[in-house]
Amino acid sequence: MEREQVGFIGLGIMGLPMTRNLLKAGFQVVVYNRTASKAAQMVAEGAQMAGSPKEVAQKSSVIITMVSDTPDVESVILGKNGVIDGVRPESVVIDMSTISPQATQVVAARLNEKGVHMLDAPVSGGEQGAIAGTLSIMVGGDAGVLERCRPVLEAMGKSIIHVGTNGMGQTVKLMNQILVVGNLNAVVEALVFAGKSGVDLEKAIAAVKDGAAGSWQLANLGPRMLKRDFRPGFMVDLMQKDLNLVTKAGDAMKVPLPVTSLVHQMYYSLQAAGEGKSGTQALVKVLELIAGIEVGQTKHT
């Protein structure tokens, strides 16, 4: 079977290393980024540059989008010079951004009208997972289309699970975000509690991280909180975008989301303090303010 020609739109924190892994796996990749300098970097590594999402679509059989938010996906796929203007029938558009499940269904229907398939395939695993090619990918859409695209997705991810029809990949991603922020909130509370008690927090994390309380958030973001490293793997602004999607969906279904809603409010306070571009681990600063303690300063010999 002929190898897919891959197109990639959106070379941000996630998209750039994902493209690099596609190139490493031997795929020919055509790239587009709104800020062209980032695409030039990928061209130096073997990708071909396109001047618009339309041109990417003209040159590709599988077109991946990895942009910020729902309106951005709508713009690069359905907008002027968008994917829909150049895509050929039987091609597949795979949106790997995190966006609204309902908007995903609308985009899929528009593409289907042109004989084009769509998969929503949002990811979990963060920047590290994108670099290592170990992302968890949750896929909505036709199962046969996923099988056709599996080799492409395998270049970027380790776990690739079909979860249902279009939009359901995004719904499972929102479930993932509920789990992430609930867990992050627990990490922050635990560190502030133990820090205020005078425990050495590096030792405390080492002591619990491999037991029943261990988690990705604790092992990866806990140490960064202690080192006061608030550089983004995943930005507060993007998490707020996701929590908006979660709370809107919860409202629509009348599902109570008490902890998720609380963390959503706490992140508003960080955004108001100018921390929107910080990593999600900056959540610790909100509780530190209330508790009157800074966890990184709890040093012991």
Any contact of residue 80 with ligand NAP (CB under 6 A)? no
Any contact of residue 8 with ligand NAP (CB under 6 A)? no
Q: Give whichever of 38 and 209 is closer to ligand NAP, judged by the CB atom.
A: 38
Least Å from the CB of residue 35 to ligand NAP: 3
Any contact of residue 187 with ligand NAP (CB under 6 A)? no
**Alpha carbon distance 97, 93 (integer Å):** 12
Least Å from the CB of residue 217 to ligand NAP: 12
Q: Give whichever of 105 and 298 is closer to ligand NAP, judged by the CB atom.
A: 105
Question: Which of 75, 81, 134, 244 touches ligand NAP (CB under 6 A)?
Answer: 75
> Which tokens belong to 217?
């958030």
Q: Give whichever of 187 and 238 is closer to ligand NAP, judged by the CB atom.
A: 238
Closest residue (Cβ) to ligand NAP? Answer: 12
Least Å from the CB of residue 175 to ligand NAP: 14
Residue count at the site for ligand NAP (CB under 6 A)? 25
**Alpha carbon distance 135, 125 (integer Å):** 5
Known catalytic residues are 173
Least Å from the CB of residue 137 to ligand NAP: 10
Three-state SS sequence of the chain? CCCCCEEEECCCCCHHHHHHHHHHCCCCEEEECCCHHHHHHHHHCCCEECCCHHHHHHCCCEEEECCCCHHHHHHHHHCCCCHHHHCCCCCEEEECCCCCHHHHHHHHHHHHHCCCEEEECCEECHHHHHHHCCEEEEEECCHHHHHHHHHHHHCCEEEEEEEECCCHHHHHHHHHHHHHHHHHHHHHHHHHHHHHCCCCHHHHHHHHCCCCCCCHHHHHHHHHHHCCCCCCCCEHHHHHHHHHHHHHHHHHHCCCCHHHHHHHHHHHHHHHCCCCCCEHHHHHHHHHHHHCCCHHHCCCC
CA distances from 58 to 1, 51, 82, 98, 109 (A): 20, 11, 10, 24, 20
Q: Which of residues 125-144 bind ligand NAP (CB under 6 A)?
A: 126-127
Segment near ligand NAP (CB under 6 A); pick from 33-41, 141-149, 205-213, 283-291: 33-41
Any contact of residue 7 with ligand NAP (CB under 6 A)? no
Return the residue matching tokens 């040093």. Answer: 299
HSE-CB for 285 with a 13 A CA cutoff: 21
Question: Which of 12, 82, 140, 276 touches ligand NAP (CB under 6 A)?
Answer: 12
Question: Which of 72, 120, 275, 288 touches ligand NAP (CB under 6 A)?
Answer: 72
Q: Give whichever of 220 and 261 is closer to ligand NAP, judged by the CB atom.
A: 220
Any contact of residue 19 with ligand NAP (CB under 6 A)? no
Q: Give whichever of 235 and 295 is closer to ligand NAP, judged by the CB atom.
A: 235
Question: Which of 22, 64, 66, 145 touches ligand NAP (CB under 6 A)?
Answer: 66
Q: Give whichever of 13 and 259 is closer to ligand NAP, judged by the CB atom.
A: 13
The site for ligand NAP (CB under 6 A) is made up of 10-15, 33-35, 38, 66-68, 72, 75-76, 97-98, 123-124, 126-127, 233-234, 238
